[in-house]
Amino acid sequence: MLQYDTKLNLAHAFNTIEVAAKYELASVWMSGFAPAIDAQGKVFFVTGNGAYSGQPKPRNFGESVLSLPSRLTGVSSSFTPSTYATLNDHDTDFGSGGVMLVPTTVGQTAPPMAVAIGKDAKLYLLDKDHLGGEHPADSGALQVQRLANTQKGLWGGPCYYGAADTGRVYLQLGGGVLRAFSVATGAAPALTQIAAGSSNAGFGGSIPIVSSNGETANTGVVWLIRRGATEQLEAYDAINLGTPLFAANAGVWSPTGTGDALVTPLEANGRVYVPGYETVTVFGLTQ
């Protein structure tokens, strides 16, 4: 993990492998999903398959969610699935997906939370400030739930929408539909699925975003790119999901048509931008 100043001079750096190991790797990948940064400047990210040296003072950080201070001087907190060795052995690395910080809400009694998921299709709800370390049965996490009986996980990351009734987390696994989870912020923090879309994802799922007219009710829209030989932009009602409100082809990702487009749409000023192979396709309202 590298940090640069505004003049692009290298300011700080952190190596996920601190001591020599036979099996190093442990790259920061997350399939293009960006690291998260909280209000205190802490940096959060997930590592891929690689060496993990174990508790109580690990120095190699494969298969882990890490929190670092703003100057990247060392690990402030970490979470490592108890099955990290199996994830390494089967190339089902945690780091195909990123970590998303869940905004806190008025009256919240649960700790600040974070969400992470990778190739193994296990959804982890974590205490942002005390990620949970590495313990049998992942007891350091606030909640763990398996979302599929296959190993079709997520290459990307989730998104969040603060609806009037409850906060919602959205994610889409490879070969699966878009899902919405309510966020319980009381004494028993949890994610509970409350809605689903109707269109199955391509390779690795998607990296959705949400747009809305501020906090105005019934204006939330979830946008995603359905990966395939041809990219397709899809839009969903953020409350009900269901059938897409809109869908349109938006170019291809590579001349070979492999469909491995680890990209996300961008919404700005009422328009949606979709990157493709040598193209950017722009969608907007018609007059």
Tokens 């109707």 — which residue? 198
Residue 24 clears pLDDT 70, i.e. is over it: no
Q: What's the whole-number average pLDDT of the chain?
A: 91
Residue 149 clears pLDDT 70, i.e. is over it: no
* 240-255 per-position pLDDT tens digit: 999 999 999 998 887 6
Give the predicted TM-score (pTM) of the model: 0.92
* 59-104 per-position pLDDT tens digit: 789 999 999 999 999 999 999 999 999 999 998 999 999 999 999 9
In 3D space, the residue among 69, 70, 80 whose CA is nearest the CA of residue 26 turns out to be 80
Domain ranges of the chain: 23-151, 158-287
* 203-216 per-position pLDDT tens digit: 889 999 999 987 78
pLDDT band of residue 146 (cuts 50, 70, 90) is very high
pLDDT band of residue 259 (cuts 50, 70, 90) is low
Q: Check residue 151 and give its pLDDT.
A: 57
